[in-house]
């Protein structure tokens, strides 16, 4: 209960609560995208390049498609990619990092696989995977998850090795605890803050990568995302000759920037709560300072 109270108190202070509300509101909008969007995202419903107005809050693109509907469904696809890649890569990096410490027989194979993927440049590998599998949202998730886990697996392994040398782990072994129990009860709690931070950082990275790959023409044309909307906007040759870019390219770009900012705030705040060693030195010093009245009393 003490930890829960500390978490609630931490959430109600600083930038955590506004970031949670902002991200929660965006997630709710994506879940209700079908109800909130007035038209299907691919339907041609009006004249091309209409400015924002009644019935079309963000206007239309060069094909007469409603950009507000595309923004909502694009948010759903971009966030789905971000959270799916983060979930898969966090599980893989945590599993490989912990197993490389507790499973001696598989350690050489796991470390060799990690080093091999670390040696390959990420962007060419993702492009190669997409070229082999073809465009598709889940193909993109698989490609990004493959390149996202190796670096963090090394970090998790280093933390698990440090924890495995501590006295309470030796005591657990002496009492007969097996590798599985030590992994669950001793090592996993030690690396949990790192995994949580890795999850939030990877959501942000995956959303940015999806937008970048879609701008290169590697997005899924059947699943509108913020990246594919930006690709359509920048493919229009007269985008910057008028004000069209304000309602076509600006909203998805602001969506990517806003999610990145919200996740950065959440990652920094929750890392400070989960890992006191990462808090600013002034906060730690302030927490340990004894008030003059208390010194006088003692």
- List, for residues 221-231, the tens digit of each pLDDT value: 788 899 999 99
Could you give the CA distance from residue 215 to residue 228 in angstroms, rounded to a whole number? 7
Task: Please give the pLDDT value at position 260.
Answer: 92
Rg of the chain over Cα atoms, rounded to whole angstroms, equals 24
Task: Please give the pLDDT value at position 298.
Answer: 39
The model's pLDDT over 237-286, given as tens digits with 9 standing for 90+, comes to 999 988 999 999 999 999 999 999 999 888 877 766 655 554 444 343 34
**Where does the pLDDT of residue 289 fall: very low under 50, low under 70, confident under 90, or very high at 90 and above?**
very low
Specify the pTM. 0.85
Report the candidate in 35, 184, 259 with the shortest Cα–Cα distance to residue 267.
Answer: 259
Could you give the CA distance from residue 98 to residue 95 in angstroms, rounded to a whole number? 5
The model's pLDDT over 12-39, given as tens digits with 9 standing for 90+, comes to 555 678 888 999 999 999 999 999 999 9
């Amino acid at each position: 209960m003490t930890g829960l109270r500390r978490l609630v108190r931490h959430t109600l202070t600083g930038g955590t609560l506004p970031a949670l509300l902002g991200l929660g509101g965006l997630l709710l909008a994506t879940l209700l995208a079908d109800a909130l969007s007035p038209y299907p995202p691919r339907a041609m419903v009006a004249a091309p390049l209409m400015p924002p107005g009644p019935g079309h809050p963000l206007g239309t693109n060069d094909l007469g498609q409603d950009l507000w509907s595309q923004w909502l469904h694009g948010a759903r696809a971009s966030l789905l990619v971000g959270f799916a890649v983060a979930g898969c890569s966090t599980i893989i990096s945590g599993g490989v990092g912990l197993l490389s410490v507790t499973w001696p027989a598989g350690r050489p194979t796991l470390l060799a696989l990690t080093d091999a993927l670390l040696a390959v440049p990420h962007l060419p590998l993702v492009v190669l995977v997409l070229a082999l599998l073809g465009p598709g949202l889940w193909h993109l998730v698989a490609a990004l998850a493959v390149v996202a886990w190796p670096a963090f697996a090394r970090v998790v392994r280093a933390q698990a090795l440090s924890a495995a040398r501590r006295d309470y782990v030796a005591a657990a072994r002496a009492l007969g605890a097996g590798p599985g129990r030590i992994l669950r009860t001793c090592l996993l709690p030690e690396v949990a803050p790192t995994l949580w931070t890795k999850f939030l950082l990877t959501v942000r990275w995956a959303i940015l990568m999806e937008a970048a790959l879609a701008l290169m023409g590697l997005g899924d044309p059947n699943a509108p995302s913020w990246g594919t909307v930006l690709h359509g906007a920048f493919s229009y040759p007269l985008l910057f000759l008028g004000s069209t870019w304000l309602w076509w390219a600006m909203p998805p770009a602001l969506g990517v920037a806003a999610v990145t900012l919200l996740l950065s705030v959440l990652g920094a705040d929750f890392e400070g709560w989960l890992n006191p060693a990462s808090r600013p030195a002034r906060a730690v010093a302030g927490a340990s300072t004894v008030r003059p009245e208390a010194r006088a009393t003692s």
